[in-house]
């Protein structure tokens, strides 16, 4: 196997949660471009259909399942595995967050963040991990955040920060426990990326989000996606339990 061949995902079967927009869409496209067959699991049926249509026109092997993983993560994972005929790669990307100071965070907001960012990820990982264990291994890539490493400015978002720190620690815990099963578990920690969830263009955020970044800019989702391909591929065969920071240098200061 050559160096470039080690990055190939030809013949691999991948599931991406929340893969119909933003970072998740970029991850789905990148995995498919690398040769994987990809199933997206996300709630919005119309957005699913639009994403699958667009990526299919590019010649990419992508399909979608409409499901709310906060309610039926294991059933959705089982459906994806049945459609794919197995599972080699799981990208736990679905996430939600709110800007709200601690005094004003409601129980509903807190529960919503942890239900999506942590509990659903946990259930998808266990369901997908069982299949990987039975078939000789696989790769799980969790989407954490620099918010699990630092406290963001100027907005307050304690629930989101705590949830992403939990994702990082869960990544390490599962990596240690499942290494003997041939399952690698890693996470990425993106910085500020231009998506619907991160309003990077708003003037009130520029001072702290852009000017405090050594590279003096935000990222595009397509810049983050190759790292997911890398962690899912044989090129990362000796990497597990790592949190790969992709932030333009933001956390250096």
Active site (catalytic) residues: 160
- CA–CA separation, 98 and 110 (whole Å): 9
- The DSSP bridge partners found for residue 14 are 38, 89
Q: Which residues contact 218 (CB under 8 A, 6 or more apart)?
A: 191, 192, 193, 194, 198, 200, 209, 210, 248
Strand order in the sheet with 62-66: 62-66, 37-42, 13-17, 89-92, 138-143, 183-190, 243-246
Task: Quote the distance between the C-alpha of residue 186 and its chain's center.
Answer: 10
Are 41 and 63 within 8 A, CB to CB? no
């Amino acid at each position: 196997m050559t160096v470039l061949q080690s990055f190939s995902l030809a013949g691999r079967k991948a599931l991406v949660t929340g893969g119909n927009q933003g970072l998740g869409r970029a991850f789905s496209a990148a995995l498919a471009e690398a040769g994987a067959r990809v199933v997206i699991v996300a709630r919005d049926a119309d957005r699913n259909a639009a994403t699958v249509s667009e990526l299919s026109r590019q010649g990419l092997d992508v399909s979608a399942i409409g499901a709310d993983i906060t309610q039926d993560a294991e059933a959705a994972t089982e459906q994806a595995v049945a459609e794919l005929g197995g599972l080699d790669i799981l990208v736990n990307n679905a996430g939600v967050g709110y800007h709200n100071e601690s005094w004003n965070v409601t129980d509903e907001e807190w529960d919503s963040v942890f239900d999506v960012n942590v509990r659903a990820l946990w259930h998808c990982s266990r369901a997908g991990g069982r299949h990987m264990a039975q078939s000789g291994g696989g790769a799980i890539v969790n989407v954490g955040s620099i918010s699990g490493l630092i406290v963001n400015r100027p907005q307050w978002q304690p629930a989101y920060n705590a949830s992403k720190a939990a994702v990082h620690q869960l990544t390490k815990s599962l990596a240690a426990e499942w290494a003997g099963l041939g399952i690698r578990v890693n996470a990425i920690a993106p910085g500020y990326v231009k998506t619907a969830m991160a309003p990077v263009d708003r003037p009130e955020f520029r001072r702290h989000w852009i000017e405090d970044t050594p590279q003096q800019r935000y990222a595009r989702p397509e810049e983050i996606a190759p790292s997911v391909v890398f962690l899912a591929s044989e090129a990362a065969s000796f990497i597990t339990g790592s949190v790969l920071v992709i932030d333009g240098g933001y956390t250096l200061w």
